[in-house]
Amino acid sequence: MTQKQPSSADEKLDRRRLVRQARQHAAKKKRRTRIIVSLIIGTVVLAAVVLGVRALGQGPRTEAPDRIRIADEGRKHVSEGSNPTYEANPPASGPHYPVWSRYGVFREPVDPGYWVHNLEHGAIVLLYSCSDNCDTVVAEIEDVYESLPNGAFGEIKLVATPYAGEFKGTFMLIAWTRQEPFEIFDAARVKKFYGDFVDQGPERAP
């Protein structure tokens, strides 16, 4: 049997079909590329929005409206029981005793000579003042104390103490060279300050 040879018309149809298929393939590839690019752009935009929302929600770590930066007064050790003096009142750095305070909530004032040393170790100090309802105030502080995470050395690094001197506000949060006074007890504020500054002192120690 003699094999039939394709006519010129058939060849033209084949070429057209091949050209059409190539164009369709190219169009599909272009659509897929557009979809992939759109997905990538959408993911990047979404990530940027999420990060922006988080940043707005958290705010600057060290420049909250009520936070005050205090000049560094050094880290000199002085004899325990002596009376170190400070430019800032209450202090947020400066001379201190060679030993530091244990952590916790105190009803009697802890001498700054002790807790300034805690600040050097990256601890947070919460000063409070109360003339009445002190039991309620202490209970609120104890509740937030128990909710705080441990520092780098496996313990909650907060000293809460009355302050023998005067200070702005009814409460004051202190970290090394940072202060944040406020009038009404706010557990969320305490947690935020603690999270921002714990273990950020000039000496990494318990």
Structure tokens at 119: 């600040």
Q: What angle do CA 31, 32, 34 make, to 5 degrees?
A: 65
Give how many domains the chain has, as a whole number: 2
How far is 202 from 200, CA to CA, in rounded Å?
A: 7
Same domain, 84 and 134: yes
In a domain, 206, yes or no: no
Same domain, 81 and 181: yes
Taking a C-beta distance cutoff of 8 angstroms, is the pair 180, 69 a contact?
no
> What would the pLDDT profile of 130-189 be if each residue is shown by its tens digit?
988 899 999 999 999 999 999 999 999 999 999 988 999 999 999 999 999 999 999 999
**Among 10, 25, 58, residue at a domain's last position:** 58
> What would the pLDDT profile of 104-139 be if each residue is shown by its tens digit?
999 999 999 999 999 999 999 999 999 888 999 999
Helix (H) or strand (E) holding 162: strand 158-162
Q: Show the domain range for 29.
A: 1-58
Same domain, 80 and 125: yes
Assign 128 to helix, strand or coil: strand
Same domain, 120 and 186: yes
Same domain, 107 and 34: no
In the chain, the amino acid numbered 147 is S
Is the pTM higher than 0.75? The answer reads no
Rg, Å, the chain Cα set: 33
Same domain, 178 and 124: yes
Assign 169 to helix, strand or coil: coil
